[in-house]
Amino acid sequence: MTDTPTLTARIQAWKAEGKKIVFTNGVFDLLHLGHITYMAKAAELGDKLVIGLNADASVKRLKGESRPVNDQNNRAALLAALFFVDGIVLFEEDTPRDLIVTLMPDILVKGADYTVENIAGAKEVLANGGEVKTITLVEGYSSTSIINKIRAQTT
């Protein structure tokens, strides 16, 4: 996990080398096949994959007091172990818009459950000459459904 200024400098160095920077974001609470497939496809779109990870406080606001199951340090460590992830940065806000504006990736990626118009930071990335892409999600996988299944089996 890297702080924003350090990652910004790293991204600028990668861009100076002609590397295409791909950015996506999420909670990635209970890492599953859907997450792995999504991030692997995102990584294939460029040279370096950067993940914006919702901090614990942000997750609680978005998903409720019982979340996240895994704290931000555990979630970041799991993502860092993936060979196709080149950088991870936490964000405290409910959307990564400000982080995206700061990092200014070449390609911004979200799941196909979003439309380009609804992707935080899309307008800014497009205005900067970048691309915004959506990736089809693997059906049947979500951290919330896994949590609900566990709860149903233990009650």
Domain span including residue 86: 4-154
pLDDT of residue 143: 65
| Overall average pLDDT of the 114-141 stretch | 93
Reading the block at residue 73, the tokens are 């340090």
Query: Does pLDDT of 117 surpass 70?
Result: yes
> What confidence tier does 68 reach under pLDDT thresholds 50, 70, 90?
very high
What does the mean pLDDT of the chain come to?
Answer: 94
- Rounded to an integer, what distance in angstroms lies between the CA atom of residue 34 and that of residue 40? 10
Of 10-14, 93-97, 143-147, minimum mean pLDDT range: 143-147
What's the CATH number where 121 sits? 3.40.50.620
Nearest to 95 by CA among 128, 124, 66: 124
pLDDT tens digits for range 77-116:
999 999 999 999 999 999 999 999 999 999 999 999 999 9
Q: What is the pTM of this model?
A: 0.92
Tokens 């895994």, residue located: 70
Query: Does pLDDT of 147 surpass 90?
Result: no
Of 12-21, 26-35, 38-47, minimum mean pLDDT range: 26-35
Query: Does pLDDT of 40 surpass 90?
Result: yes
| Overall average pLDDT of the 59-63 stretch | 95
Overall domain count for the chain: 1
User: 33-42 contacts: CB < 8 A, separation 24 or more?
Assistant: 33/138, 33/141, 34/137, 34/138, 34/140, 34/141, 34/142, 35/141, 36/82, 37/138, 38/111, 38/135, 38/137, 38/138, 39/79, 39/82, 39/84, 39/85, 40/84, 41/135, 42/109, 42/135
